[in-house]
A and B are shown apart, each in its own frame.
Chain A
Amino acid sequence: MVIHFTNARLVDATRDAPGALLIVDRQIAWVGAGEVPSHARTVDCGGRMLAPALIDGGVFSADAPACLAGGIASIVLMPDGSPPLDEPALIEFARAHVKPHIWVHPLAAATRALAGAELAEVGLCKAAGAVGVATGRTAIADAGVMFRLLQYASAFDMVVVSHAENTALVGDAVATEGEFATRMGLPAAPAFAEAMAVARDLRLAEAAGARLHFRQVTTAESLGLIRTAKARGQRVTCGVTPAHFLLNEQAVSGYRTFARVSPPLRHEDDRKAVIAALADGTIDVIASGHDPRSQEQKRLPFADAEPGMVGAETLLALAATLVRDEQVSWCGLLAMLAANPARIFGLPGGRLVSGAPADLIMVDADAPWRIAADRLQATAGNTPFDGLPTQGRVLMTIKGGEVLWEL
C-alpha cells in the first residue's frame, strides 16, 4: 500500500509543522515533501494532525480493539498474565497472539511466577523477544534478589521495570495514608513507601550498572529522587498513567472501586508534583496501564476489589489535557507517548522519519467527545473517567502501512 498524506500537520517529538508524508508498503518513505508515485492513494488530512502511532509503555492486557481505537499500534506488555510471562515460550506466544492488529512487546517476568524469589530465564526471554524485565504489579521485597536481578539483566542490556512500593509498608493497604483514608476507614500506607522503594532501587541499579525504569512514579518525594539521580547522570527513566495526574484520592469517594488503582491515588500536592515533573521532563513516559477488569473483580467492597483501570482508548485525550493546560507542547506529549518509550525499550518507530515503520495516527486535536464506559472498544469498562467530557480524538490508526481503524 502506498499512501500519500497531504495537507497534514506533522507532529512528533521534534517536529510540529505542516507538510505531507508518503508511506510505501510498511515504511515511511519521506516526510515533508518528496516524489509521489502515480499509483499512490491520497489522503487529505485537511490540516489535521498526523503523528506516529502511540507506543503504550505499560499495559496488562493485549486488547487490540481498544488500542487501535486509541491510536496505539505498539504496546509494552507487563508480565502479569495467567500464567506470568516467565518462560521464552510464553514470550513468543504473547508476541504472536494478537497479530496482525498491534505490535506486542512483552516484558519478561523478573522472577519465576513473579514470586520475587528466583530469577526467571530473562536471557532466553530476551532472545524470544522480550524488550525488558519487569517485577510485575508488585515490587521485589528482597533487596538481595532485586540486586542480583539488576546485575544479571545488565549483562543482557535489558531495562529493568520496577514497581515502586515498599511491600512491607504497603501490606494490605488500598489507599494513601491521610485524612481521607482515615475518614473512609480504608487500610492505608504512607506515601513515602514509594520513595523508599525508589531510593532502594536507584542505589541498587547504580551499584549494578543497570538500566532502571519505574513504570509509575506518583509522589513529590520520589520524583525528587529521580530528578536528582538523572542530574547525576544515572540511567533511570520513569512513567506515570493519566489517573495520577488527573485524579487525587478524593476520586475514591463513595468507595468507587473503578478508582482503585495501584499505587493508590495520592494527595493533591502529589498530583501537582506529577504535573510539574511531566512539564520539566523528569517523567519520560505516559502509559495507559490498560487493565480491563470484569464486574466480578470490581463489584466488590473497595478493599476486596482488584486494582486497575482501562485506559488505552482514553490515553491520548486524557494526556492532551497537559497541552491544553500549557504544561507540555504537542511535541513534548508525543515524546512521552511514542518517542521515549521507543528509546527506553529499543523499539522501532515513535518518530516521523523516513525508514521508520508506517505506524501512524491522524488526530483531530480539538474534537470534543465524552468518555462513555459502555461504548468503549475495550474488553471491560472499568474507567474512573466515565462521563468526562474531553477533547482530542484519533480519527485513523495505521499500523504496518494498513489502515486498521477509522472513526
Chain B
Amino acid sequence: MTAPPAATPPHLASHHPFPHRHLLGIGELHPHEIGWLLDAAEGWIAVNRAKRKHDDRLAGLTLINAFFENSTRTLLSFEIAGKRLGADVVNMGVGSSSVKKGETLLDTALTLNAMHPDMLVIRHASSGAVQLIAEKVDCPVLNAGDGRHEHPTQALLDALTIRRRKGGIDGLTVAICGDILHSRVARSNFQLLGSMGAKVRAVAPPTLLASDLDRLGVETFTDMDAGLDGADVVMMLRLQRERMSGGYVPSPREYFHYYGLTRARLAACKPDVLVMHPGPMNRGVEIDSAVADDITRSGVTEQVEMGVAVRMACLDVLTRSRRGVAGW
C-alpha cells in the first residue's frame, strides 16, 4: 500500500511534511505535522484488519524496544507494529537489562547503539531520559513514555480515535480526568488536543492536579460533574494503587465516589459522548464496568487498535531517511 496523501497546508507544500529525526514529544510538533501523521496512521488501519497483516517495507531493519520501565500493552503494540512492517524486532525489558547490574543509562544506550539498530523505542521512568539517549545514539529514537513528561504515540492514537469517532477534533470539549499530576499521557494530550483546536479540561482532586495548567490552555475542575458538563469526550486516567490509599486521595472508595466515571455522571456530558482510557483500567476505582463495557460510547478497544496503526506510521516515517525513500 502507499501512504495516503499529506494534509499539508498549501503554504507549507514545499516544506518537508515531517522534518524530525526523532519523535520525543508532542511539544515539538506543529499541528499540520500531527495531522499528517494521523493521516498516515489512517492508512494502516485496513492493513491491520486484513487477513494478511504484512508490509515488508522495514525488512532488514532492526528495531529495539528498550523499556526501562515495566509495560505490557505499549511494548506489545510496538512489537506488533514493527513486525507487521517486517522489521527485526528485539525487546529489552527492565528485568533483562544491565541496569540492574549498575550500568549507567548512557552506557546501556551506547551498548545498544553499537549493535547498529535502525530505530530505538524507549520508555524510562525519568522525565527527559529519552531525550538524553537520543542525543547520544546514531539512529532515530521514539519516546514511548518518559517519566511524567511525554507519551506522544498515546496522544496520537487518542487523537486518531477521536477523529474517527467525531469526524474531527477542532471545537470539541475534552475532559481529562484523574491523576493529572503524574501523567505523561495527560501532558501529551493537553498539547496535542489544544493545538488541534479542542477545549481541554483537567478534572481531578487538587492533590492530583499539576500547577499552572491554565498556562497550558487547560481549564481545571475539582468538581467532576462540572468538569463533565457538556463534554464531547471523556478521557479517564489510571490512578496507581499506591497513590489511592492516603498519599494523594484517602481511599479507592472515596475516589470512586467523587471521581469515578459512572453512568449517572456521564449524563452531564453530550449524549454521544466518547469515553476513553489509556489502560489498564481499574474497574470500580476510576471507571464503572457498565461504562467501560458500553460499546456505543466506549472507545477503549478502538484506542488499542489505533495504537498499532499510529506506531506503524511513526516507525515508517522515522526510518524513511535511512531506507532511502525519495525526498527523505
Contact = CB atoms under 8 A, between A and B. Distances in A.
A binds B: yes
Interface centre among B104, B105, B132, B150 (most CB of A within 10 A): B132
Interface in B176-215: 184, 187, 210-213, 215
Nearest to B146: A185
B215 A179 contact: yes
Interface string A139-179: 00000000000000000000000000000000000000111
Contact of B129 (A182, A184, A301): A301
Contacts of A255: 127-128, 131-132
A188 B211 CA distance: 9
Interface residues of A, number: 21
A302 B212 contact: no
Contact of B216 (A179, A186, A188, A254): A179
A184 B216 contact: no
Contacts of B132: 255, 299-301
A190 B211 CA distance: 9
B148 interface: yes
A315 B104 CA distance: 32
A303 B216 contact: no
Contacts, number: 68
B68 to A, nearest CB: 10
Interface in A173-204: 177-179, 181-188, 190
B84 interface: no
Interface centre among B146, B147, B184, B187 (most CB of A within 10 A): B147
Contacts of B97: none
A325 interface: no
Interface centre among B129, B149, B184, B211 (most CB of A within 10 A): B211
B27 interface: yes
B214 to A, nearest CB: 9
Interface string B274-295: 0000000000000000000000
Contact of B128 (A177, A178, A184, A188): A184
B211 A181 contact: yes
A182 to B, nearest CB: 4
A115 B129 CA distance: 30
A387 B259 CA distance: 50
> What is the interface of chain B mostly: helix, strand, loop, or mixed?
mixed
A304 interface: yes
Contacts of A254: 131
Interface in A244-302: 254-255, 296, 299-302
A178 B131 CA distance: 22
A402 B216 CA distance: 58
Contacts of A182: 187, 210-213, 215-216
B76 interface: no
Contacts of B104: 296, 299-300
A301 B212 CA distance: 24
B126 interface: yes
Interface string B128-140: 1101100000000
Interface in A356-383: none
A177 B129 CA distance: 20
Interface in B69-128: 104-106, 124, 126-128
A190 B212 CA distance: 12
Interface of A: 177-179, 181-188, 190, 254-255, 296, 299-304
23 contacts: A177-B211, A182-B210, A182-B213, A182-B215, A183-B216, A184-B128, A184-B149, A185-B127, A185-B147, A185-B184, A186-B147, A296-B104, A299-B106, A299-B132, A300-B104, A300-B105, A300-B132, A301-B127, A301-B128, A301-B129, A301-B147, A302-B127, A304-B105
Given A185-B128, A299-B132, A300-B106, 15 more contacts: A179-B211, A179-B216, A182-B187, A182-B212, A182-B213, A185-B184, A186-B127, A186-B128, A186-B148, A296-B104, A299-B106, A300-B105, A301-B126, A301-B132, A304-B126
